[in-house]
Structure 1
């Protein structure tokens, strides 16, 4: 038999898991943005310079990947800023 509970009162800890998921979603965007900045500043060393030489604008590598991941995970921030839950 199914049991109904008031909204937010789940005996299985669903509320805590939902809050944790919300905070993890908010943490992803700034984490990836910081990783992109640090990777761009510190770089990968001489191997990255050698691989990128002569190719013009390099869209490969870790910095673009971190920027894209930051953009893809920005939905949680957009929901927070728009006031929707």
Structure 2
């Protein structure tokens, strides 16, 4: 494989890593925004039918998506904290 091809693959992998790291915080922010009371009229109509729980509907979905996309953050933490094991 040529140097140009390997360089392009590395740059693409780097962009994919950054995108993976951006997913979990983005979904967490969206969950907070979806759970804030005083949303738009359709949000009020939907929450009235569910009993008014702030964690119902979209907020719960965004929290789950944030949890499912936390793997890149856990890998990053494990890589950085690998040298601190056994120092208790």
Return the TM-score normalized by structure 1. Answer: 0.71
**Contact kept? 2:50, 2:56, Cα under 8 Å:** no
- The runs of 5 or more residues in structure 2 that have no matched partner are 81-88
Measure, in 2, the Cα distance between the counterparts of 1:31 and 1:54.
27
Q: Distance in 1 between matches of 2:37 and 2:15?
A: 32
Number of residue pairs the alignment of both structures matches: 78
Superposition deviation, residue 35 in structure 1: 0.5
The residue number in structure 1 matching 2:5 is 11
Aligned alpha-carbon RMSD (Å): 2.7
TM-score with structure 2 setting the length = 0.69
Q: Which runs of 4+ in 1 moved over 6 A?
A: none
